[in-house]
Amino acid sequence: MKKITLLVFIAVFSQYAGSQEIHVQQKNGLFQKEEDKKISFHRVAKFEPSAENRAWSSITKIMIFGDRVFLLDGRQSKIAVYDINAKFLHSIGRPGQGPGDLEHPSDFFITDKEVIYVLNSMAKTIEVFTIRGEFIKRIEIKMPKELYYSYPSMLLLGDNDEIYIAYSLSPNLIDAYDENGRYLRTLLKREDDIMIPGDNIGNCSQIQFCQDKKAILHFDFFKGLFIKVNKSGDVENKFSVYDKLHDKEIRAIEDMISETRKQAASSVSIKEFQLWSRCCVDDDNNIYAFSLKKKQAERERMYVFSSKGDFLYWQDAPDRIGDLIEDAYCFGDIFIFKTQNDDLYLAKKGDE
């Protein structure tokens, strides 16, 4: 009987493991020496409104929708809207705590129906607007009671009106909620333990759609680990690239947190570390992320992965951008790069 049980377990485990593609700590890019297969950018130009029309102080999130650029300013609690030539058009939202007000906004999403969902992290609400900025409604996020210490940090809107939420710190990396903010299910769990009370490394989560919204890509911008999960919660693949500088920094930070955990604590402490840029996915489902760790004499590197998680190659960041690229966005053939100084650059994919 024991032998039969063991064989059944091995068969089930093999089937489960075989459903995932795991490509972590990859060292050699498949196309590293093939220059003709690497991306090129042209028309790299600074997105620079006039001084009186530069309406942002701290850019939290960027989206291009149609011919307009939407910039979420988490510090000023509003979205500034520009045309593609950096002409200021109008703003959406205002600081406050009432319906339609923004309080510590951390993310937003624009649906194909031209509806804007803005996530108020501290208030645990979502403010919903038309594309023109008219307030529609407020959604209260009814988080599971056991997540009392957690705050939502990012959101996505599915075609079926499901809301996908990531958190600042939580045993759940991605949860699904219905259109009224009720919890439905957990799609992805955190592997590291959480100490309550005590010091913790935050989830360091970025989430975005890939494969025509059929899957969600979770990126840990501390460890540089990608996890692709479908909307049923099945993990399709995990992947990352090995980098000696990152590996050393990660181990040093984790050792530091281990030491602080030995001390008595009275509250939950969330410490977020960013060693990688916000990643982006192009129309070919290739994935791009910039390393924020580099040797002094070197330029910042951009790492490129296939939709299946294969490490394709790395190359230097566009040479017209002098500062470190902290966030990368892709909309069609247009890329937007945000630097650590909150400068924005637009670039077109391909040869001129």
**Percent of the chain, pLDDT > 70?**
94
16 falls within a domain:
no
Give the CATH number of the domain where residue 335 resides: 2.120.10.30
Instruction: Please say if the pLDDT value at position 226 is more than 80.
Output: yes
Residue whose entry in the numeric block shows the structure tokens 């990531």: 166
| 6 pLDDT higher than 70 | no
- 3 state DSSP class of 253: helix
Section 67-96 average pLDDT: 95
pLDDT per position as a tens digit, 275-313: 999 999 999 999 999 999 999 889 999 999 999 999 999
Q: What's phi and psi for 190, nearest 5 deg?
A: -80, 140
| 322 domain-assigned | yes
In this structure, are residues 106 and 153 in contact, taking their beta carbons and an 8 Å threshold? Answer: yes
Cα–Cα nearest to 243, from 318, 204, 298, 281: 298
pLDDT at position 19: 60
278: left (phi over 0), alpha (psi -120 to 50) or beta: beta
For the chain, the domain total comes to 1
Residue among 331, 237, 324, 251 nearest 289 (CA): 324
pTM of the model: 0.93
Q: What average pLDDT does the segment 248-262 reach?
A: 96
Evaluate whether residue 4 is within a structural domain.
no
Place of tokens 């377990």: 9
Residue 333: pLDDT over 80 = yes
As a whole number, the mean pLDDT across the chain is: 92
Q: Is the pLDDT of residue 192 over 50?
A: yes
Nearest to 116 by CA among 132, 105, 139: 132
Considering the domain boundaries, does residue 5 fall inside one?
no
Which H helix or E strand runs over 237? strand 235-241
- Domain membership of residue 137 (yes or no) is yes
**Residue range of the domain that includes 317:** 24-349
Does the pLDDT value for residue 2 go beyond 70? no
Q: Which residue has the higher pLDDT, 12 or 241?
A: 241
Quote the pLDDT of residue 215: 96
Q: Is residue 12 included in any domain, yes or no?
A: no
Residue 153 lies inside a defined structural domain of this protein: yes
Residue 2 in domain: no
CA angle, 318 then 207 then 267, to 5°: 115
